[in-house]
Structures are given as C-alpha cells and as structure tokens.
Amino acid sequence: MENKDDIRLLDSKQLEEFFVGENQKKFRVNQVFDWLWNKGVDSFSQMSNLSDNLRNVLDKNFVLKKPIEIKSYRSTDGTIKYSIKLYDKNYIEAVLIPTGKRVTACISSQAGCSLDCKFCATSRLIRKRNLFFYEIFDQLFYLNEQSKFYFNRKISNIVFMGMGEPLLNHKNVVKAIKKMKMENGLNFSARKITISTSGIPKGIKQIADENLNCNLAVSLHSAIQKTRQIIMPFSDKFPLEDLIESLKYWYTVTKKKILYEYIIFDGINDNIEHIDALIKICKILPSKVNFIEYNPIGDETFRQCKVEKLRLYQKYLSSEGIVNTFRVSRGRDIKAACGQLINSNKEIL
C-alpha cells in the first residue's frame, strides 16, 4: 500500500482547500463526496464526471483504502456472514440478518477485541487495531448493497454488535454514524442504529454528549458485581456502580431507554438472587431486557441455562412490569451468532 492517506480522512473544508491549492473549482468537493459517501466507489477512475486531470491529481495525492477481499457464508436460516480482509491484511467480520420485514446489519468496530468476556470467542483474538470510520462505513455500504441483491430491500437496522468494543473506538464510531446518517448519502435513521457496549462508563458518557439520537445496548449478564467479573473479567475495572452512574447520565442527556443484553448461564446466574438483582437495576432507569441465547465456543464452564430458568426470569421481570424478550440465535451454523465471530469459516457462499 502506497504511503498516501485515504481521501476520506478529509472533511469538506480540507478538501476544498486542497482543490484551491491545485487550481481546481470548489464545487468539485460535492461531486467527490457524492462518489465517496453515496456511490461508494472503489477508485478515483470511477468518478466519471471529473476530468482526467482531476482524477490524476486525486490518484497522485490520495488513496481509497477499501477491503482487498470479501468472502461470504450463508446460513440455513438465511443469515449471511462476511469475512472482510482489510487493506493492511487484518480481518473483520460483519453479518446480514433477515427477519420478517427487517434486515439488520451487524458491524464491527475493531479488528480483534480489547476485552476478555469469557463466553465470547471474539475476545480470544488479539486486538490488532481500531477501525477507521470509513472502514466501519464501508461495511454498511457493502452489506446494504448485498441486502438489496438478496432480499430486495435496503438494511432497516444497524447494530454495533460485531467484533470489538465500540466505545473503545468511540471517535471513529461517531464519525461513521454521522456518515451513515448523511441525507445526501445512505440517509439511515439514527433511531434504527444501536451501539452495543460491554459497559465502558466513560465511553457511555461521551456517546451521550454526541447527540447522535442512537440507541444504547449494554451487555450486562449479571447485576451482581462478583458474578459479572467471572463472566466478564475486565469489569473489575468498571464496577456496576460506575456503570449505573454513566447510564443515569445517558438517560438524563438522551431520554432514551436502555436495553440490557443478558445471557442466563447454567449454574452461574440462573438463581433467584440474580433475578432480584436484575430487577433492581432495571427499576433504576427506564429499560428493557433482551435475553440472548448462548452460543457455545468450547468452554465447558459456560452452558445454556435450562428452559425453566429462562421462564422464571421472564415471569419475575414481567410481574414487575419490565419489558423483556428472548432472542433466538441466528447463523449459528456458520459461526455468525452472538459471540462467535472469529474468522473461522471455510465454505464460501
């Protein structure tokens, strides 16, 4: 890869200044931005309404660091996983999930992961680096084209639930979301975008201040600190008290309900003590709970709870007026379900 910056690192003012310095017209900025953020071109040569001279100028000074290879894998349930080889040969994965009238894009924010959640295969990967905002955007753009091809409709929902912790790359995540929302681009609604975090208090406060109007999901799994540390060891540095304080700030600023994501593990958090603790936390702020099916990753310490324990949780939460749902895993057979993203498939779609 040549030692040139991706042109998408420049905002409109910076690109305008560059054009003026090259004796080019300022209005070219809008044309170039349309090619970059609306049409998603892979090279400057595709910018057909620019002169040969200007395309050569752009090619001389900049580059488009697009993925160099994308492989896809299709589940029996219709879910499609994409293994994406980035320009520097690092890998990420993204998932397209069709359900009824919705198509959800699950996208990554890091190559690898910074955390150590014991139930998650992705946490076993070394965090190579944060993704640039344009690499996050590229996932959505590509998956949106795939959604139109396979399902005859654009993506309806976006979830930052792929590889990595979004709030440990919050600046690039914010920039990517702003690009996703651009009216003269993909024009996605912020109300259909969910940022999922394992619980980084500082990051939650930062994202609240960005005025993105997105949704927030918190990977909780236990409302008892000592149990949560067994499931998610990193959380010893981010105690529940700090997490709740940051969520109070989130709600004060955004007025948006919090979604708690929760896996019930057999023999770990499947008793009444944990149910009572979850109810207590849910009553602090407007919230709802999404129970997630556990997807085994070879660690016998963690097993899916018995059905009656899930029903017990739901019975108690519902009796307290706490909205809760159970999400069945999608794409498990291609290792595309929650906690399975690790670049490990071989069968190509």
Amino acid at 336: A
Q: Specify if 83 maps to a domain.
A: yes
Residues 206 and 157 in one domain: yes
In the chain, what is the straight-line distance between the N-terminal and C-terminal CA atoms, in Å? Answer: 28
**Residue 76, Cβ neighbours under 10 Å: how many?**
9
Q: Return the active site residues.
A: 93, 338
How many structural domains are present in the chain? 2
- Quote the DSSP letter at residue 333: G
- Banded pLDDT at 298 (limits 50, 70, 90): confident
- Quick one: 41 and 136 in the same domain? no
Q: Determine the structural domain holding residue 54 and report its residue range.
A: 7-61
Mean pLDDT to the nearest integer, 300-322 = 95
Q: Provide the greatest CA pair distance for the chain.
A: 71
Is 345 among the domain residues?
A: no
Quickly state the pLDDT bin for 2 (edges 50, 70, 90).
Answer: low
For residue range 108-159, what is the model confidence (pLDDT) as tens digits?
999 999 899 989 888 888 889 999 999 999 999 999 999 999 999 999 999 9
Q: What is the SS3 assignment for 195?
A: strand
Give the whole-angstrom CA distance, residue 210 versus residue 165: 18
Q: Are residues 86 and 219 in the same domain?
A: yes
Half-sphere exposure of 84 toward its Cβ, with a 13 Å CA cutoff? 28
CATH of the domain at 305: 3.20.20.70
Task: For residue 286, give the DSSP letter.
Answer: S
Asked if residue 342 belongs to a domain, the reply is no
- CATH code of 18's domain: 1.10.150.530
In this structure, the answer to whether residues 166 and 252 fall within a common structural domain is: yes
Within-domain flag for 135:
yes
Is residue 138 located within the same domain as residue 277?
A: yes
Q: Where do the DSSP E strands lie in 38-177?
A: 69-74, 80-85, 91-99, 102-106, 110-111, 129-130, 157-160
Question: Are the beta carbons of 148 and 96 closer than 8 angstroms?
Answer: no
**Which region among 117-121, 176-180, 195-199, 231-235 has the lowest average model confidence (pLDDT)?**
117-121
For 83-111, how does the pLDDT look when each residue is reduced to its tens digit (9 = 90+)? 999 999 999 999 999 998 899 999 999 99
Residue 179 has pLDDT above 50, yes or no: yes
- Residue 254: both structure tokens together: 């955004």
In a domain, 344, yes or no: no
Residues 134 and 196 in one domain: yes
Q: Which two tokens stand for residue 9?
A: 């690192």
Predicted pLDDT of residue 347: 39
Query: Residues 187, 238: one domain?
Result: yes
Residues 155 and 287 in one domain: yes
Share of the chain above pLDDT 90, in %: 86
